[in-house]
Amino acid sequence: MDRVFGDKKAIAILLGPALFMYTAIMLVPSVWSLFYAFSTGNVIEGFRPVGLDNFRKLLDDPIVPTSLRFTVTYALVITVGQILLGLALALFYVFVLRRASALIRTLVFFPVVLPTVAVGLLFSKMFAIAPQTGPANSLLDLLGFGATDWFSTGSKAFWVIILMDLWRTMGFYAVLLYTGLLDIPGEVLESARLDGAVGWRLLRHIVLPLALPVLISSIIFSLNSSLKVFDSVVALTNGGPGTSTTPLNLYMFQTSFFYSDYGYGSTLAILITTICLTVTLFLFRSSRRDLTKG
Amino acid sequence: MIRTWRAARTHPTLRTVAAVSAAALLVSGCSAAGTGTKSGSASKPTAFSALFTTENTQIPAELNRLAAGECKAQNDALPLKIEQTPSSNMQQKVQLLAGQDALPVLFAGGNALINKDGALQKSGQLVDVKKALTDLGVADKLTPAASDTIDKLYGGGVYPTIPFQYNIEGIFYNKKIFEEQGIAVPATWDELLAAAAKLKAAKITPFTASGKTGWTISRWVGAYILRDLGPDALKKVADGQAKLTDPEYVRAAQAVADLGKAGYFVDGVTSVDYDTATANLLNGKAAMMYMGSWLLASINDPKKNPLGDAIGFMPVPAVPGGSGSIDQYPANVGAPTAISAKQYSPEVGGWLKCIAENYASGLMETQGAFSGFKMGKPVANVPPLTQDLQKRIDASTSTVLWFEALFNTKATGDASANAAPLLTGAMKPEQYMSLLQNDLSAAQ
């Protein structure tokens, strides 16, 4: 093996195809997109440079602040929800169900494997008021609150999206954190119990600190995927009503491919990349310190 | 970084990897650049290829009928080959095909691409349909109304679309409900409001519309503007002489928002789709719907319309003190259908001539719908409502364009997407008009 890795040609052969693909599929479009951000035009007439016009437009665009607010709020709420629910489920698997958790884990994980579009349709029917009243509104009627149009305002639609995405993804985070909890040595927990640490104290002082590395990884996963939310919103509200549930990713897609404004779409892509990069770097920096020291 | 670069210069392995990457950049870069250039050369067509939206069922059905009937000889010479794609992808698809010199013979190009200043028009990729029909000796088959609408729509001097359809817009209503409630056909906006109030009091939904297909709502705004401010009001906005944020324009959005606030539209309008909205009218669940004459295809279909002759048509009522006339109907020539200049051949001309001579009567006979061509032969057993609309089209002295006709793609999209929030009160009329004006100003 050492001989293989010592052979420069072998390294080139092993690394070359992957690097070629990565360059062709990731780097070139990224650089190309950067070029588009400073241009305007279309594929029929070609592109011409416009300097910083697209970036000025970004500052003046009334949809960008709304879209940014939605994206950040969604990312924060969904991350908190995914981690808390995931952790609660993981604790439930480890400390309550123990060895009997396999069936429940499978059932909770099941929505993860469902196609997002199917889940979107399911929830749109569940919360529908027209043409048929869905189960959610029937329940509200039964309880005497009266049915409501969940998709008539951005604030109501937001909570349906949150509910759907939490149901859809909590199983994944539960399994992720479950594996983290399994790594905690049994004797550590045992000795903590002998010292009188049970319930919240055991969780606060023993379980959470020891599960912190996997917890940080989960937060990074969750924040990054939620900042780039796209498919679930398209399937459920398509960004509506109006643009009130339009995340930046969807707005970028619409700008580029519905309105054929590739230049401005690329500028929005740069904004999204910058946000994701900043959040990731911030989280990496925070997690770099020795987590066992609290 | 510098150290890595130096290492790459001296290290053979890294040099190889760097070379591979550079080659990748070059290859990908070249291919990306290729999409914007006219690299290919279009050869004469081997089929009468046509690209329509998936939602468009009317034109493909009639073309297929012609291919097997009156245009069989033309079809033998150049077989009809229809392809359909969802309307949301059409603009992008046409642009990519145009960029690669791969446009089909007929294609549903967006108005923004084929109008006087459109990219396809400027790059000379379109056939002037009127000129082609003149050369073929069948220009007299075009109806004056269709030509008038095309002039207004595309800025004059260009004729980039085949008028496969000719539609006027107005309010379809349930005559039976009106009779039962003792409501006369409203001639003014105030009478319309009174009728709606009376219907609501009788627990009948006055209006149906689709929030998911928002133009079924936004067209109300356009209709009010045309009645209130006259037929040139939207042209003035397109020309920059007026703004949608001017108080007299915002008044129209306010009038429509007021209809929503009063609860005159169907419950859960935001979630209602197009088929449900029309079914509400045709099943008697709502009394009125703003719609175009293409709805005749459904109205004349007994499976979709159990009410039969109970559906009537009226123009949008006059706004008191307004300068628009009740006789001016918003009109269109259907989904734009352009002909690729590079694909035009004598065989395509043969097809075009056959369409001009036979399409209109065939469409009327089989679907009860109008086109921008004169009928080649009289059609018997035309349903009463179709006859009524035909009379209105013939009697109309001038037509006007619909609300979004002169909007760019972004403004059209926003007008539709935000129409339901305007109606439910989630968006104020000023915000709605300001958003659309922003879209228009950004493109000017």
Q: Domains of chain A by range and CATH?
A: 2-53 (no CATH), 58-293 (1.10.3720.10)
| Structure letter (DSSP) for residue A187 | H
Least-confidence region, from A5-9, A172-176, A200-204, A285-289: A285-289
With CA atoms as reference, the chain A residue closest to B86 would be A258
- Check the CA dihedral B108-B113-B117-B120 and report its sign: negative
Whether B340 contacts B127, CB under 8 Å: yes
- Dist. CA B115–CA B159, nearest whole Å: 9
Taking the C-alpha atoms of residue A153 and residue B186, their distance in angstroms, rounded to an integer, is: 32
**What was the pLDDT predicted at B30?**
37
Structure tokens at B52: 């329509």
Closest CA to A132 of B268, B217, B419, B205: B268
CB proximity B427 to A under 8 Å? yes
pLDDT confidence of residue B17: 47
Test mutation, A259, A261, A266, chain B, max B CBs within 10 A: A259
A15 touches chain B (CB under 8 A): yes
Residue position matching structure tokens 């043969």: B350
User: CB distance from A39 to chain B under 8 Å?
Assistant: no
Stretch 166-225 of chain B: residues touching chain A, C-beta under 8 Å: 211
Q: Does the CB of B266 have a partner CB in chain A at under 8 Å?
A: yes
CA dihedral for B122, B124, B127, B130, sign (positive or negative): positive
Residue A193 has pLDDT above 60, yes or no: yes
Mutate which: A152, A245, A251, A257, vs B, most B CBs within 10 A: A152
Residue B142: phi and psi, rounded to 5, are -75, 140
Closest residue in chain B to residue A262, using alpha carbons only: B92
CB B21 to CB A23 under 8 A? yes
> Is the CB of B17 inside 8 Å of chain A's CB atoms?
yes
C-alpha of B281 from chain center: 21
Q: Where exactly are the structural domains of chain B?
A: 48-166+333-390, 167-331+407-443
Q: Do domains B48-166+333-390 and B167-331+407-443 have the same CATH topology?
A: yes
Instruction: Give residue A114's region: left, alpha or beta (phi > 0; psi -120 to 50).
Output: beta
Structure confidence at residue A4 as a pLDDT band (50, 70, 90): low
- Over its C-alpha atoms, chain B yields an Rg (Å, rounded) of 25
CA distance A132 to chain B (A): 10
**Which of 1.10.10.60, 3.40.190.10, 3.20.20.70, 3.40.50.450 is the CATH number of B167-331+407-443?**
3.40.190.10
Across the interface, whether the CB atoms of B270 and A151 are under 8 A apart is answered yes
Q: What is the ipTM of this complex?
A: 0.78
Q: Between A and B, how many residue pairs show a Cβ–Cβ distance under 8 A?
A: 149
Q: Which of residues 224-253 of A touch B (CB under 8 A)?
A: 239-244
- The chain B residue lying nearest A16, using CA atoms, is B17
In the block, tokens 């949608």 appear at B244
How many helices (H) and strands (E) in chain A? 15, 2
Instruction: Please give the DSSP secondary-structure letter assigned to residue A294.
Output: -
Nearest CA among B188, B217, B144 for reference residue B393: B144
- Residues 337-366 on B with a CB inside 8 Å of A are none
The shortest C-alpha distance from A84 to chain B (Å) reads 32
CA A86 to chain B, closest CA, distance in angstroms equals 32
Within 8 A by CB and 6+ apart from A57, the residues are: A264, A267, B442
B53 touches chain A (CB under 8 A): no
| Shortest CA gap A128–chain B (Å) | 7
Q: What is the mean pLDDT of chain A?
A: 90
B409 touches chain A (CB under 8 A): yes
Residues 268-327 (B) with a CB less than 8 A from some CB of A: 268-272, 276, 279
Distance from CA of B271 to the nearest CA of A (A): 6
B141, B146, B99: which is closest to B123 by C-alpha? B99
Note whether A261 contacts B410, CB cutoff 8 Å. yes
pLDDT at B287: 98
Using the beta-carbon criterion (under 8 Å), do B418 and A8 form an inter-chain contact?
no
CATH T-level fold of B48-166+333-390: D-Maltodextrin-Binding Protein; domain 2 (3.40.190)
Which residue's structure tokens are 């935000």?
B418
Contacts of B268 in chain A (CB under 8 A): 128-130, 149, 152
The tens digit of pLDDT for each residue in A202-248 reads: 998 899 999 998 998 899 889 989 999 999 999 999 998 989 999 99
Which residue on chain B is closest to A17 by alpha carbon?
B20
State the angle between helix axes of A63-91 and A262-288 in degrees (0 to 180), rounded to the nearest 10.
40
Q: Do B36 and A57 touch (CB under 8 A)?
A: no
Contacts of B12 (CB under 8 A, 6+ apart): A8
Q: Is A154 on the interface with B (CB under 8 A)?
A: yes
Distances (CA, A) of B386 to B176, B300, B383, B398: 18, 9, 5, 20
In this prediction, residues A123-128 reach a mean pLDDT of: 94
Q: What is the pLDDT along chain B (444 residues), one digit of tens a residue?
A: 344 444 444 455 545 544 544 444 444 333 333 333 333 445 689 999 999 998 888 899 999 999 999 999 999 999 999 999 988 788 889 988 998 889 999 999 888 889 888 889 988 999 999 999 999 999 999 998 898 899 889 877 899 999 999 999 999 999 999 999 999 999 999 999 999 999 999 999 999 999 999 999 999 999 999 999 999 999 999 999 999 999 999 999 999 999 999 999 999 899 899 999 999 999 999 999 999 999 998 898 899 999 989 999 999 999 999 999 898 999 999 889 999 999 999 999 999 999 999 999 999 988 888 999 998 888 888 899 999 999 998 887 678 999 999 998 889 999 999 999 999 999 999 999 999 999 999 876
Answer whether B267 touches A (CB < 8 Å).
Answer: yes
What is the rounded average pLDDT of the residues A260-287? 89
CA distance B159 to chain A (A): 20
Q: How many CA atoms lie within 13 A of B315 on its CB side?
A: 23
Closest partner CB to B20 (pick from A11, A19, A254) = A19
Indicate the residue of B267, B427, B435 with minimum beta-carbon distance to A130: B267
Residue B296, C-beta contacts closer than 8 angstroms, at least 6 positions apart:
B367, B368, B369, B383, B385, B386, B389
Q: What residues in B contact A124, CB-CB < 8 Å?
A: 271
